[in-house]
Structure 1
Amino acid sequence: MSGVLAAFFSSFLVTLLIIRSKHLHSRISSDFDLSGPQKFHKKIVPRIGGLSIAIGLFFAILFRLKNIPDAKLELTLLICSIPTFAIGLTEDLTKKISVRMRLFFTLLSAILVAYFLQVSISRLDVPYLDYVFTFPLVGVVFMVFAITGLANAYNIIDGFNGLSSMVGIITLFAIAYIGYVLMDTTIIYLALVMAGAILGFFIWNYPRGLIFLGDGGAYLIGFWIAASSILLISRHQEVSPWFALLINGYPIIETLFTIYRRKIHQGKSPGQPDGIHFHTLIYRRILSPHHQNENWFSANARTAPYLWVLAGMTIAPSILWWHSTPMLMGACLLFVISYVWIYSRIVKFKTPSWMHIDS
């Protein structure tokens, strides 16, 4: 608990310091682009909230090493996260890093995890398909792809105040719960210190958006959750590998659907931004017409809770049936169908009436 508190308070204080001193660094740390297809803020805001989370993790891991000197896994994971966080923070400061370069450094972090922690995805609990994973290289490549993909997925869903950060916190709590059930203190610590560090930032980000997560923060959260999920199923054979997939269902399906939409329907690079993400549609077609005022709980702040509930549709069955591959596979299928159905209804201006909860 003391490590979690260290992560929370250090992140909280650093975030406050960044906000209070923004007049000194705003020229390089703030987001000046107010007109992009995914931009919904109307004030210049620092976008280096990821720095607070990284510092929170740093102090929490130091605290862990002080009390448990052989806590090498935690320190190694922190070191492995440096490339993906560093390239994201560099983009936040310069706004000049290409998508390919960011993908490369995220990929590098994932490779470091595979090499130093000697972990990979060795099974899917699917007959015949698991035979492929008897070749070690396949499991390593699959794991590297999964970590890289989820790190970028959290960046994709980072569109509104409190969205990706709270989804991350909820997911980490679920991972910590399974770690508690299995009495794995390392998994519990990895999950809770990141949740504590995110919460220290979240308080300042939601609902008023005084600071943004930035690419560095989104990549770091996604990387940490992906690595923790894979470590959990690798250390405990009784946990279905579909737990790691379903618990991250919302950012994963949002990313895959985004790639499909941009590449197939729009005929452009998946790396180019557009304005029709799930969260964007909720803002524009459900909330924005009714909440154009600038109060503290505007349409921007009202958007995230819709997606928190959506994420809960994957997290709830994950913790209920974490050991049952058939149940988790069924939940995955049900979620994909629900996501596509709701998305198509909103696009066609046929939003279900129950979604207009405040109109």
Structure 2
Amino acid sequence: MQISILLIYLITFLILELVYFKIADRFNIIDKPNHRSSHTSITIRGGGIIFPIAILVYALINGFQSAYFIIGLLAISTVSFLDDILTLNNKVRLSVHLCSVLLLFLQWDLFSLSWYWVLIALIFVIATINAYNFMDGINGITGGYSLLTIATLYYIDQNVISFTSAELLLIVGLALLVFNFFNFRKKAKCFAGDVGSVSIAFIIVFLIGQLILKTQNISYILLLLVYGTDTAFTVLFRKIRKENIFEAHRSHFYQFLSNHMKYSHLLVSLLYVVAQLLINVLLILLTGETMIYTLLLFFAFIVIYLSLRLKLEGKKRLLLSYDKHSSQM
């Protein structure tokens, strides 16, 4: 793809993002901080709408290749955007999510496989989309982490095995650069919103799914290991504390680092990106090796993550309910 064409895409996405800011400002599509927020000022919500818009631009130019994926993305992005501004009924939102995931499976031709693979894929996709939504809480984390993932996938496509459209990866990367320009800063101009976190999760899941199906190598799910680990163990700790896991909260490790230890949002986001970068490098180096090395990488990260949480947060904070914790203070 020529540099001049990439620049045209980049400028186009930048203009479209600025147009959305005008619309959001006109219709008061903003995020007001509350007691659960990790930010303190009113900010435009839904800046991540540039992700599905970028895919739509790509589809219009390239004749709607991967039509099931694109339709699913537009559906899940639309309902997520409406949920950002209206707060939809959960049944409506979940129904559209399920339909979009099924369209994704059609794109992967997954229904030709045994039923248990479909079930595993359903769990993986739904969990990843929700994890991305949960993890989108501080400046730079969603944009930075996603840009790293797309860059890694591009490297794999170009240097390890061709599994998808290089142009598609570049388009998504450019959209992420535009979003990061406005979000990866001390005072963010915009937040991704549900439309951003859900749509980029859907896109990344689609691409990783393509890679796994092409290589028959399940190890590539480790490209999302940091997000997955933080989400899974945060839910586990909340269950142990007998909290309602469906209620909004600030229990993630990244939230502890930014809200309680007062590390800057950008520093915490960079820590997460760097941690995933190291995993990605090791994962690529281990390509072709036996599965035991991938498992060792997985468990080594889990041990490091849990050790850090126990050391920094403490056993009482992680495992005891607020009432029990308070009574022992």
TM range (shorter): 0.7 to 0.9
Alpha-carbon offset, residue 82 of structure 1: 2.1
Other structure's SS at 1:184 match: coil
In the alignment, the residues of structure 1 paired with residue 108 and residue 94 of structure 2 have an alpha-carbon distance, to the nearest angstrom, of: 21
Q: Which of 208, 217, 229 is residue 208 of structure 2 equivalent to?
A: 229
Counterpart of 2:288 in structure 1: which amino acid?
A: H
Aligned position for 1:212: 191
Aligned position for 1:352: none
In the alignment, the residues of structure 1 paired with residue 6 and residue 118 of structure 2 have an alpha-carbon distance, to the nearest angstrom, of: 31
Q: Which of 237, 243, 259 is residue 284 of structure 1 equivalent to?
A: 259
CA-to-aligned-CA distance 1:234-254 (integer Å, 9 cap, x gap)? 1234xx2112x2111011112
Aligned position for 2:102: 111
Aligned position for 1:292: none
Q: Which of 291, 304, 307 is residue 338 of structure 1 equivalent to?
A: 304
Q: Which of 68, 85, 108 is residue 77 of structure 2 equivalent to?
A: 85
Alpha-carbon offset, residue 101 of structure 1: 4.7
Alpha-carbon offset, residue 53 of structure 1: 1.8
Going from structure 1 to structure 2, the CA distance change for 1:50 and 1:336 (only over 3 Å counts) comes to: same
Aligned position for 2:321: none
Aligned position for 1:55: 53
Other structure's SS at 1:186 match: coil
Alpha-carbon offset, residue 215 of structure 1: 0.6
Q: Which of 238, 251, 254 is residue 230 of structure 2 equivalent to?
A: 254
CA-to-aligned-CA distance 1:6-35 (integer Å, 9 cap, x gap)? 553333222222334543121xx1112x11
After superposition, where does 1:20-59 map in structure 2 within 5 Å? 20-26=22-28, 29-32=29-32, 34-37=33-36, 39-59=37-57
Going from structure 1 to structure 2, the CA distance change for 1:83 and 1:271 (only over 3 Å counts) comes to: farther
Counterpart of 2:222 in structure 1: which amino acid?
A: L
Going from structure 1 to structure 2, the CA distance change for 1:326 and 1:103 (only over 3 Å counts) comes to: farther
Q: Which runs of 5+ in 1 are unaligned?
A: 66-70, 123-134, 289-298, 350-359
In the alignment, the residues of structure 1 paired with residue 122 and residue 6 of structure 2 have an alpha-carbon distance, to the nearest angstrom, of: 28
Work out the percentage of aligned pairs sharing the same amino acid: 20
In the alignment, the residues of structure 1 paired with residue 215 and residue 120 of structure 2 have an alpha-carbon distance, to the nearest angstrom, of: 18
Contact 1:91 1:97 in 2 (8 A): yes
Other structure's SS at 1:41 match: coil
Aligned position for 1:295: none
In the alignment, the residues of structure 2 paired with residue 310 and residue 98 of structure 1 have an alpha-carbon distance, to the nearest angstrom, of: 37
In the alignment, the residues of structure 1 paired with residue 155 and residue 304 of structure 2 have an alpha-carbon distance, to the nearest angstrom, of: 26
Q: Which runs of 5+ in 2 are unaligned?
A: 316-329
Counterpart of 1:276 in structure 2: which amino acid?
A: S
Contact 1:191 1:225 in 2 (8 A): no
Other structure's SS at 1:273 match: coil
Going from structure 1 to structure 2, the CA distance change for 1:85 and 1:323 (only over 3 Å counts) comes to: farther
In the alignment, the residues of structure 2 paired with residue 5 and residue 43 of structure 1 have an alpha-carbon distance, to the nearest angstrom, of: 32
In the alignment, the residues of structure 1 paired with residue 91 and residue 298 of structure 2 have an alpha-carbon distance, to the nearest angstrom, of: 29
Counterpart of 1:145 in structure 2: which amino acid?
A: I
Alpha-carbon offset, residue 225 of structure 1: 0.8
Going from structure 1 to structure 2, the CA distance change for 1:85 and 1:36 (only over 3 Å counts) comes to: farther
Alpha-carbon offset, residue 187 of structure 1: 4.2
Q: Which of 68, 80, 105 is residue 76 of structure 1 equivalent to?
A: 68
Other structure's SS at 1:204 match: helix
Contact 1:10 1:55 in 2 (8 A): no
Other structure's SS at 2:188 match: coil
Alpha-carbon offset, residue 183 of structure 1: 5.1
Contact 1:187 1:232 in 2 (8 A): no
Contact 2:258 2:265 in 1 (8 A): yes
CA-to-aligned-CA distance 1:17-75 (integer Å, 9 cap, x gap)? 2334543121xx1112x1132x122221111112222212211222233xxxxx722x4
Contact 1:287 1:303 in 2 (8 A): no
Counterpart of 2:268 in structure 1: which amino acid?
A: T
Alignment length, in residue pairs? 311
Counterpart of 1:211 in structure 2: which amino acid?
A: C
After superposition, where does 1:1-359 map in structure 2 within 5 Å? 1=1, 5=7, 7-26=9-28, 29-32=29-32, 34-37=33-36, 39-65=37-63, 72-73=65-66, 75-94=67-86, 96-97=87-88, 101-119=92-110, 136-182=114-160, 184=162, 186-207=164-185, 208-237=187-216, 240-243=217-220, 245-268=221-244, 270-287=245-262, 299-324=264-289, 325-348=291-314
Alpha-carbon offset, residue 260 of structure 1: 1.0
With structure 1 as the length reference, what TM-score do the two structures score? 0.79
CA-to-aligned-CA distance 1:178-200 (integer Å, 9 cap, x gap)? 11124526343333321221111
Contact 2:147 2:177 in 1 (8 A): yes
With structure 2 as the length reference, what TM-score do the two structures score? 0.86
In the alignment, the residues of structure 2 paired with residue 229 and residue 158 of structure 1 have an alpha-carbon distance, to the nearest angstrom, of: 20
Other structure's SS at 1:72 match: coil
Other structure's SS at 1:287 match: coil
